[in-house]
Amino acid sequence: MGNHSALVLIELGAVFFGLGILGRLAGRIGLSPIPLYLVGGLFFGQGGFVELGGLEEFSAIASEIGVILLLLLLGLEYTAGELVTGLRQSWMAGILDILLNFLPGVVIALILGWGAVGALVLGGVTYISSSGIIAKVLTDLGRLGNRETPVVLSLLVFEDLAMAVYLPILTAVLAGVSFAGGLQAVGISLVVVTIVLVIALKFGNAVSAVVDSKDREVFLLTLLGAALLVAGVASAMQVSAAVGAFLLGIAISGATATNATRLLEPLRDLFAAVFFVVFGLNTDPSTIPPVLGYALLLAVITSVTKVATGWWAAKQQGVGKLGRARAGAALIARGEFSIVIAGLAVASGAVTDELAALATAYVLLMAILGPVAARLAEPVMGFLTRKTPQTV
């Protein structure tokens, strides 16, 4: 027993220390750490150079908590009013986003013979942009005050709300629920989302008061406990633990949400990093080369379709060509949500290992390509504008 505990502590220490080095490296080269965490997991997982065998129990629960905290903090970024306003402003662009970016994943999955379940999973992987990476890139580039940024943010709001419907459907399908059961899951999800939005709009202060406390320790315990309880209840109702956490975040508002974000960010970063590493650990690197061509093809297609989505959405709001290009390029990055979707599918055993490999390769490409494209959008557009003959 003592030897096993020592092995777990050594392996866990090595993983955390390695994550710290990878995170520092990502900061130096100006990239999101997500691709490096995935590569780290591939390096130490099944089929990697060194296989870690003592972390199964810890890594499983830690990665679950990582997903819950990712979605909780995402919900804390929005008020219910902002969600409703964003939905009203961006619903047409949001539907275009689904059509252009969900379908490529569906088509590739069907070509590879992964069936309807695989198509539903891969469509979600290619559809959803990374709110975390995009927010960081916009902040780093000083574009939060740009005219096109509200367009980008409203599209991200729409995508997050779409996930609140999509994830319960996915959870039901992966669990092998019948069509009627799937409809029931969607119905419950829509009712729950509606109720939470109404509560957040009318009684957001009361919800915030329940979890709030001037004592940091009490605040942290109450908030984390509430998030895990809500996520567990949501999971039991087949609404998805992640959606439950997201909805709780929406219901908390004002100064409480600000303080909660500040308090939970380090925890979120820790457990989210473990989540990405665990996904990498569970992916055999030898399964990636056969699907790398498809990952590259999807990366090219969905980069173009995201740019088209952002361009069209910004144009509808009267944004100029340079702003439209910046909006489209900002949306390219995929990351945490895509891996959450693939992780749910792999954990259920309802999809092949090849899908996990394709999702990993795709996210690696898009998490790198997204920030690079966002930085290059302005100079490239400026170059093209100078080259284009001016019409009188």
CA angle 125, 347, 282 (to 5 degrees): 85
Burial class (CB in 10 A: 0-12, 13-18, 19+), 353: middle
Confidence check: pLDDT of 249 > 90: no
Q: Return the pLDDT at 233.
A: 83
Instruction: Decide: residue 18, CB within 10 A, 0-12 exposed, 13-18 middle, 19+ buried.
Output: middle
Segment among 111-120, 189-198, 315-324 with least mean pLDDT: 189-198
Q: Name the residue with tokens 């144009």.
A: 315
Give the per-residue pLDDT at 103.
96
| Mean pLDDT of all residues in 306-316 | 94
Q: Assess if CATH 1.20.1530.20 describes domain 2-382.
A: yes
- What is the distance between the alpha carbons of residues 45 and 269, in angstroms, rounded to a whole number? 21
Please give the residue that has the higher pLDDT: either 188 or 92: 92
Say if residue 244's pLDDT is above 50: yes
> Can you tell me the mean pLDDT for 3-9?
76
pLDDT of the residue at 47: 54
**Cα dist from 294 to 109, 129, 150, 232, whole Å:** 10, 19, 33, 36
State the pLDDT at residue 390.
45
User: Pseudo-torsion of CA 196, 199, 202, 204, nearest 10°?
Assistant: -90
pLDDT at residue number 40: 82
pLDDT tens digit string along 122-150?
A: 999 999 998 878 877 887 788 878 888 88
Mean pLDDT of 244-257: 83
Give the residue carrying structure tokens 């055993």. Answer: 349
Check: CB of residue 33 under 8 Å from CB of residue 23: yes
The domains of the chain are located at 2-382
Judge whether residue 257 has pLDDT over 70. Answer: yes
- Output the six-digit token pair for 44: 């130490």
pLDDT at 392: 32
Q: With cut-offs at 50, 70 and 90, classify the pLDDT of residue 337.
A: confident
| Average pLDDT, integer, range 302-323 | 93
Contact 82, 156 (CB under 8 A): no
Query: 2 vs 317, which has greater pLDDT?
Result: 317
> Contact at 8 Å (CB) between 55 and 10?
no
Average pLDDT over residues 226-246: 80
Name which of 72-76, 119-123, 365-369 the model is least confident about.
72-76
Q: Which tens digit of pLDDT belongs to each residue from 68-90? A: 888 788 778 777 676 777 677 77
Amino acid at position 311, single letter: W
Q: What is the predicted pLDDT for the residue at 178?
A: 66
The fraction of the chain above a pLDDT of 90, given in percent, is 25
Q: Which of 317, 359, 380 is nearest to 108 (CA)?
A: 359
Tokens coding 357: 């490999």
- As a whole number, the mean pLDDT across the chain is 83
List pLDDT tens digits, range 31-75. Answer: 778 888 888 888 776 655 566 655 666 777 887 888 888 878 877
Asked if the model's pLDDT at residue 201 lies above 80, the reply is no
State the Cα–Cα distance between residues 370 and 381, nearest whole angstrom.
16
CB of 37 within 8 A of CB of 44?
no
Confidence (pLDDT) at 57: 67
Give the tens place of pLDDT for each residue, 164-179. Answer: 778 878 888 887 776 6
Among the residue ranges 96-105, 194-203, 312-321, the one predicted with the least confidence is 194-203
pLDDT at 297 exceeding the cut of 80:
yes
| Percent of the chain predicted with pLDDT > 70 | 91
